[in-house]
Chains A and B, each alone.
Chain A
Amino acid sequence: MKRTAKLISVCLALLLVTAALAGVLSACNRDGKNADEFVIGTSAGIEHADRSDYDFDQLSAGLTQQALVARNTDGTYSPLLAEYAVSEDGRDYTFTVREGMCWDDGEPVDAADILFTLEYADAHDSGGWLSSVTDTAGETTPSKLLSADVSEDGGSIVFRYREADVRALSDLTVLRIMPEHVYRGKTIETATPAENRVGCGVYRFESYSADAGTITFVPNEHYPYDGDLAVKRVVVRLFASDGTLQLAMKNGELDTIWKYSGGVEPSFASMLAENGRANIIPVASDNLPAVLAFNTSASPFNDADLRKAVVYALDYSRFASLFASEYAETPHAGFVPPTTLGYTPDTETLSRDLSRSRTHLEAGLARTGLPSLSFTLSVNADNALHLSYARQVKLQLEEAGISVTIKTMNQNDFRASTTNSGGNVSHQACIIGYTANGMKMMGGLGTIYMDGGHAVQGVSQVFDAAFDAILDRLSAAATEEDYRAAAKECQEWYAANFPAVALFWDAQLQVLSPEWTGAHADADFGLINMTTWLTLGRA
């Protein structure tokens, strides 16, 4: 009797276990994709999926939020939330909100929202639109705008700039307009998540699940578009590590990879293309992913010959073949990439020339009295790619008799020792990447990274009267011709002095599953942008 009971209970237990197992197995891998779903994978650390979250805010720029204008990859601008017109003296910009633009809660977008956004940025962000900013070092930067006046009908706004600025629109591509009716009397920090998700883009926020690691978006019915969107739901999958993100893309589970202001690594992109998992879309970009910057105010690189000894000892084609895509170009001595406003192709194309390097090395050593050239190369340890660049630099320079010690630091220490923000620039040379946004700040052409007097950056620690004069001319330029002339001088100064050198120029690579076609590339936001959603279709 007892035996039978035991047997029955064992059988029952087995049955239960089998049933559970079957259930679990059936639950495994049911992740079939819907035909009208578009899946974006990202390893950005999104925490709460609303406007208060830096990474989500960047992502939403391509889905739920809009800036006034967007920048195309050829350097031109397209209206986004507003049409714009420029006055003849180049100081007045009139923005008129496009017909039918609505917040996804149904309220119309008006010019008061634009003014509110400027005021909000001044009060809570780095700002500097209508009020001047004083930084830690006590330096004051005057406001960009003298005034911003909303028209009587509330449909347009006139920005009056302090001086004519040929690059005025570029700042506006990243200023996402905020709904005044939501944030009046509130801040992003005090608003509820639902309020922080109100937008005016093609899509609106639908759901966020921390457990599933997904954020979903559905079409915004208030968006003024008559056609039919090919994508009925956008699913953003969050990954904690690039390793699994890449494997998922390679496995065909994602339609694209999103990374703010960055593309996919060339070696990985070409592997995807070879396996038929993705088409590569190169996006010309103003950023410099790989820069070797010298500290020109400290030994040994306060000597121009020693800088040149390094510059001519580097093998640029080797860097391009190892780390860059097929769209890469050999960098010029003028430093800035060809897409930059004011670029001149006239500076020397860099290449390895060991005898030239030796001549400069001997001249430099003789002048400084140093027995040999050896220096410390600082690298941010968080950036594995930069570490690989540094190892390559070390190898190549050692072939030219220059010895390099790689010094890795955490992000904070790296920033403190390479930029003026720490108050004490102590590096000798460093591997660093310059963002498109940073490259165009102040006078543009990456000058903030060179200028030793810059409050925050100043990586190369240039204190030079000729360079300062060029800076003045850049910021005083009222017309495009003036600006181009000054920009040419600036690049020639770089080519003569080498405060920093680009290891290669490269386009950012975006990848798109071959199941889709018709994506539009935006210079700031890559493939995820408003135009893409309107033009995207099944291949």
Chain B
Amino acid sequence: MRTRHISRPHKSLPLAGENKAAITALAAGCLLLFVFLLAAVAPSAFAPYSPSDTFDAWLPSSSDHILGTDDAGADVFTSLVYATGRTLLTGVASAALALALGVLVGLAAGSGGVIGALANGVINLFAMIPKLPATIVIAAFAGGGLAETVIVIAVFGWVTTARAVRAKVLHIKCLPFADALTAAGYSPARIAFRHIIPNTGEVILTRYITTLAGCIMTEATLSFLGLGSVSSPTWGTMINLAYRRGGFAMEAYGWLLAPGAAIMLLALAFWCLWYFAEHRSRDVSGKSYAD
């Protein structure tokens, strides 16, 4: 009995099947994301109507309006397509900001010395602050423009990235090449920007993917509480409007559920990419998908 277990290798080298799964995930993720990007760049190619076309209000879904119409008689599918760009923009912008913050603080924290200790302290401090409640309170004070929303989401969204970057930096610094560079007399800044950052690329990429999904979710929650920017709607604000305008009682399920489904598909796309990236580097400091 026992010999069987001993003979079995515990950590299999990446198997053919796993590779296939990862590549399928990559393909699916890229395809989904490509569709979303296309919808963001050229909404008119997807939408059956122009956003200025109006029909009767509260129409149920039919062949003319696959998701029905909203309270003001706009075609829901058209609105959904036209909201793609804004949704991605909010997500991409806040995730980018969070990423930049996270990388900077993470690098500083990995650098050692007083700055490193300080930066590490800041990371640990922010990790301890309740993210969602703090975001809600700050958003209530800041008011609901696009820029404000992006900043507020980013302020609490960088912490896990900083941690991952710090771990990677510490790991890299233990490698022989870092010692060699220091011995060769390169300045620490040059080593950081020319040699360490490029090597943390993979961590940064995986973190960016997960942060993006998180940012889109946070935006949707802020919208639900009436704290998002509503003037040019995102999927989050679409659900919020549908909900507040009585979508459930009016049985406008297309208006309510389709943006939610779109958010889920987008998250799925990001997750597929993450799955592939994580598969490529199994040692990415053990960071999980979710924050």
Chain A residues with CB under 8 Å of chain B are 241-243, 246-247, 249-250, 265, 267-268, 271, 318, 321-323, 379, 381-382, 384-385, 387-388, 391-392, 395, 398-399, 405-410, 413
Contact = CB atoms under 8 A, between A and B. Distances in A.
A268 B244 contact: no
Interface stretch (B50-58, B116-124, B168-176, B203-211): B50-58
Interface stretch (B4-12, B193-201, B224-232, B270-278): B224-232
Interface in B62-88: 71-74
Contacts of A268: 246, 249-250
Contacts of B248: 243, 246-247
Contacts of B229: 408
Given A242-B246, A384-B241, A410-B143, A391 B72 contact: yes
B244 A384 contact: yes
Contact of B72 (A247, A392, A406, A408): A392
A243 B249 CA distance: 7
Interface in B221-247: 226, 229-232, 241, 243-247
Contacts of A247: 248-249
Nearest to B51: A395
B52 A246 contact: no
A267 B230 contact: no
Given A242-B244, A392-B72, A406-B231, A271 B250 contact: yes
A407 B231 CA distance: 6
Nearest to B249: A246
A392 B232 CA distance: 13
Contact of A381 (B54, B72, B74, B226): B226
A399 B56 CA distance: 18
Nearest to A388: B72
A169 B229 CA distance: 43
Contacts of B106: none
Given A250-B249, A387-B241, 5 more contacts: A241-B243, A265-B246, A267-B58, A381-B230, A388-B245
Cβ-closest 8 pairs across A and B: A246-B249, A384-B244, A406-B231, A408-B230, A388-B72, A408-B231, A243-B248, A322-B57
B157 interface: no
Given A322-B73, A388-B72, A408-B231, A267 B57 contact: yes
A387 B231 CA distance: 8
Given A246-B249, A384-B241, A384-B244, A399 B144 contact: no
B246 A243 contact: yes
Interface-centre pick from A241, A247, A387 (highest chain B CB count, 10 A): A387
Q: Taking chain A's interface residues, is the majority helix, strand, or loop, or is none over half, making it mixed?
A: helix
A379 B54 CA distance: 21
B226 to A, nearest CB: 6
Contact of B144 (A246, A265, A408): A408
B230 A387 contact: yes
A322 B71 contact: yes
Contact of A399 (B52, B57, B58, B226): B52
A157 B52 CA distance: 61
Q: Taking chain B's interface residues, is the majority helix, strand, or loop, or is none over half, making it mixed?
A: loop
Interface residues of B, number: 25
A249 B246 CA distance: 12
22 contacts: A241-B243, A243-B247, A246-B249, A267-B58, A267-B246, A267-B250, A268-B250, A271-B250, A318-B54, A321-B56, A322-B71, A322-B72, A379-B231, A382-B226, A384-B245, A385-B245, A388-B71, A398-B52, A408-B229, A408-B230, A409-B143, A413-B143
A269 to B, nearest CB: 11
A322 B57 CA distance: 6
Given A382-B226, A392-B72, A243 B57 contact: no
Interface in B135-164: 143-144
A154 to B, nearest CB: 51
A258 to B, nearest CB: 16
Contacts of A406: 231-232
Contacts of A392: 54, 72
A408 to B, nearest CB: 5
A231 to B, nearest CB: 26
B144 A381 contact: yes
Nearest to A242: B246
Given A243-B243, A388-B245, A395 B144 contact: no
A267 B144 contact: no
A406 B237 CA distance: 15
A31 B241 CA distance: 31
B72 A410 contact: no
Nearest to B58: A267
B55 to A, nearest CB: 10
Contacts of B226: 381-382, 410
Contacts of B246: 242-243, 246, 265, 267-268
A247 B249 CA distance: 5
B137 to A, nearest CB: 14
Contacts of A321: 56-57
Contacts of A265: 246
B250 to A, nearest CB: 6
A323 B57 CA distance: 9
Contacts of B58: 267
Given A381-B144, A398-B52, A408-B230, A267 B244 contact: no
A379 B230 CA distance: 10
Contacts of A267: 57-58, 71, 246, 250
A399 B74 CA distance: 15
A408 B145 CA distance: 8
A247 B243 CA distance: 12
A408 B74 CA distance: 20
A410 B249 contact: no
A271 to B, nearest CB: 6
Contacts of A409: 143-144
B79 to A, nearest CB: 10
Nearest to A377: B231
Nearest to B70: A388
A108 B245 CA distance: 46
Contacts of A241: 243
Contacts of B250: 267-268, 271
Nearest to B248: A243
Nearest to A412: B143
A404 to B, nearest CB: 11
Interface-centre pick from A398, A405, A408, A409 (highest chain B CB count, 10 A): A408
Nearest to A399: B52
Nearest to B256: A243
Contacts of B243: 241, 243
Nearest to A409: B143
A135 to B, nearest CB: 26
Contacts of A408: 144, 229-231
Interface-centre pick from B56, B73, B143, B231 (highest chain A CB count, 10 A): B231
B263 to A, nearest CB: 19
